[in-house]
Amino acid sequence: MKTQQKKSWKVADSAALYGIDGWGKGRFSISEKGEITATIPFDTGDVTVPIIDIIQAARDRDHELPLLLRIENLLDARVAEINETFQQAITKADYRGSYRGVFPVKVNQQCTVIEEISRFGADYGHGLEAGSKAELLLCLANLNDNGLLICNGSKDREFIDLGLWANKLGHQCFFVIESPSELPLIIERSRKLGIKPLIGLRIKISSKVGGLWTETSGDRSSFGLSTAQLIATVDQLRQVKMLDCLQLLHCHLGSQIPDIEEIRIAVREASRFYADLAAENVPLKYLDLGGGLAVDYIGNQSLHSHSRNYNLADYCDCLVETIKKTLAPLEIDHPVIITESGRATVAHTSILLFEILNVVSYVANELPDRQPDQSHPLVTSQYNLYQNAETIDLSEGYTKALSNRDNIRDLFRSGVITLRERAMAENLFLAIAQTLSKRLDQLDKIPLTLSSLKQNLADIYYGNFSVFQSLPDTWAIGQMFPIMPVHRLDEFPERNATISDLTCDCDGKLDRFILAGGESQTLPLHTLKTGEDYILGAFLMGAYQETLGDLHNLFGYTNVISIRINNEGGFDVTKEQSGDTISEVLNMLEYNPALFYKGFRDKVELAVKQKRIDVKERQQILNQFSAQLNGQTYFKV
């Protein structure tokens, strides 16, 4: 960043730097005061609320950071948008079928999310998708009257019985058959209970898609029927006179598909399956194209695995038009199109907010202005580089300083160089790197040989959160989320940083960031001010993170609040949930915190007897122990 930019830094510069207009799409932006805001359009005009005000409202209710914030309107808006955009595509293409969305609950099973999708989605007949028995129960308890219930995954007798009863209750519950072995049990239970099943078949699409989840499609995918199995299953249903139950074809290509052309090819293949089965008089009505609708985390509409080269309207048009075109030679009813968009429905609704606890900077300490006598030649060489750092060739100088540093460490290991000399040499290295880095800022393009320079100098900002609990996909599959400060955006972010979490795990860090519509290994952040919070937000993290999170280092759920922005210009806190206490987390690991307390009490009592502490101290210790058992797992500021 050139220095003149630093002085005249504006909110718009922050917006460009963090790419918020790209991924925020008007939902999130930066106010004149330099604070991130969430905006909801109402008939009476837009209402904009600063995130920092919501944090204050949570704190007033005793919910400290780290905090998971859900904005209910953003979830409603996505459900509405998906349904209405499909409707527009259907009208535009003169398509003779309708659209029915279902939400796959595995993407976010949290009660507030499922309840809201079901409540708000009722007008659209937005349904749910279950992949396990627990999810089936959850769906049955929450499904609105109009929504479809799609059951994927393995189904045992209990699962099938309950699904059949659901049909009798008036729901439309589809069993999607993923492997040929499932059918006999469905036939048997259906006969036993005297209830007709609704059956779908999951097909394997041979065209592969790009992105991070390519293994879900293709011949070797672990899900779905091969064409031979598909034909055999159809024949079997015909034979037992249950062909009328087979009403749905299902496929799922994988999540976050960046390229619309690959979606088109796969939809064409799925439509060909539909056409040929329909031509054989299979009474199909529904074509379920699964998930895959991508979220533009980067915000640059590209083929990057974290982006997509299409928008929602393109996606809807693509599905509707491709199905219509592929089925055109046949005089059959157009199928009801189902999609199971998970990520695209919930990603935007949640934000993880956490404060920075402290910063470790890689800056040189004060250095002697004269070279020490009798140093080792390598230390002398390093000192010379330091003195000439303003003028030496950038690449050559950096490479030399790096190799000096490494050789000096080798010499220390073999006893040639003392600890003090090593400390001095490493200090020199930092000083050289700092000067070179400043010179680098004046260049338009960073030479490849210097790409690690900034990273070597980056600060580590320690955040009050756990990657493993709150952003597990960043660790597991290299997922990136837009991360940025929620305030001070009218100030120049003068530091470059990576972020570490509270766990004692070297994987508990964030070192790939979305920046300026691209990717960066460091994130520009502001210098901490004493006595002031510095709060970062991880955005678009509503999909897949919450239930995949684990208890690494025993960090539990954070506090959660849901808010709804209202048309009076403010917001209401609609739901709140305190994070896990230490006692609750220990319970999950089969400890009994009550016995736990007793064991500790005995230990403390013994110390009284042995006169190591007095009774008063005993009481202090036990009170603390007990308070912490009932307190939360995160850092208390």
Question: Which residues make up the interface to ligand PLP (CB under 6 A)?
Answer: 104, 106-107, 129, 152, 252, 255-256, 290-293, 340-344, 543
Task: Tell me the residue length of the chain.
Answer: 637
Orientation angle between helical segments 157-168 and 133-142, nearest 10 degrees: 20
Residue pair 526/491 in contact (Cβ under 8 Å)? The answer is yes
- Which distant-in-sequence residues (6+ apart) come within 8 Å of 221 by Cβ? 204, 215
Q: What is the spatial distance between Cα 528 and Cα 549, in angstroms, rounded to a whole number?
A: 29
Q: What is the spatial distance between Cα 560 and Cα 493, in angstroms, rounded to a whole number?
A: 29
Nearer of residues 35 and 135 to ligand PLP, judged by Cβ: 135
Nearer of residues 222 and 374 to ligand PLP, judged by Cβ: 222
Work out how close the CB of 513 gets to ligand PLP at its nearest, in angstroms, rounded to a whole number: 23
Residue pair 265/208 in contact (Cβ under 8 Å)? The answer is no
In single-letter form, the type of residue at position 74 comes to: L
Q: Is 580 exposed, middle or buried (0-12, 13-18, 19+ CB in 10 A)?
A: buried
Query: How many CA atoms within 13 Å lie on the side-chain side of 495?
Result: 19
- In b/e form, how buried is each residue of 345-363, taking b as 16+ CB within 10 angstroms? bbbbbbbbbbbbbeeeeee
Among the listed residues 470, 466, 465, the one whose alpha carbon sits nearest the alpha carbon of residue 549: 470
Work out how close the CB of 254 gets to ligand PLP at its nearest, in angstroms, rounded to a whole number: 7
Nearer of residues 347 and 378 to ligand PLP, judged by Cβ: 347
Nearer of residues 216 and 247 to ligand PLP, judged by Cβ: 216
Among the listed residues 530, 108, 616, 523, the one whose alpha carbon sits nearest the alpha carbon of residue 343: 108
Q: What is the spatial distance between Cα 202 and Cα 175, in angstroms, rounded to a whole number?
A: 10
Work out how close the CB of 204 gets to ligand PLP at its nearest, in angstroms, rounded to a whole number: 13
Work out how close the CB of 178 gets to ligand PLP at its nearest, in angstroms, rounded to a whole number: 9
Among the listed residues 452, 461, 447, the one whose alpha carbon sits nearest the alpha carbon of residue 429: 452
Work out how close the CB of 103 gets to ligand PLP at its nearest, in angstroms, rounded to a whole number: 9
Work out how close the CB of 350 gets to ligand PLP at its nearest, in angstroms, rounded to a whole number: 14
Work out how close the CB of 222 gets to ligand PLP at its nearest, in angstroms, rounded to a whole number: 11
Nearer of residues 202 and 509 to ligand PLP, judged by Cβ: 202
Nearest residue relative to ligand PLP (C-beta): 291
Nearer of residues 315 and 539 to ligand PLP, judged by Cβ: 315
- Would you state the structure tokens that stand for residue 260, as one six-digit string? 């619309």
Work out how close the CB of 344 gets to ligand PLP at its nearest, in angstroms, rounded to a whole number: 6
- Would you state the structure tokens that stand for residue 90, as one six-digit string? 């259907």
- Which distant-in-sequence residues (6+ apart) come within 8 Å of 591 by Cβ? none
Work out how close the CB of 153 gets to ligand PLP at its nearest, in angstroms, rounded to a whole number: 8
Nearer of residues 75 and 561 to ligand PLP, judged by Cβ: 75
Q: What is the spatial distance between Cα 426 and Cα 404, in angstroms, rounded to a whole number?
A: 9
CA distances from 294 to 116, 213, 217, 572, 586 (A): 22, 11, 16, 30, 37
Work out how close the CB of 294 gets to ligand PLP at its nearest, in angstroms, rounded to a whole number: 7
Nearer of residues 129 and 580 to ligand PLP, judged by Cβ: 129
Nearer of residues 68 and 209 to ligand PLP, judged by Cβ: 209
Work out how close the CB of 129 gets to ligand PLP at its nearest, in angstroms, rounded to a whole number: 6
Nearer of residues 101 and 125 to ligand PLP, judged by Cβ: 101
Nearer of residues 14 and 256 to ligand PLP, judged by Cβ: 256
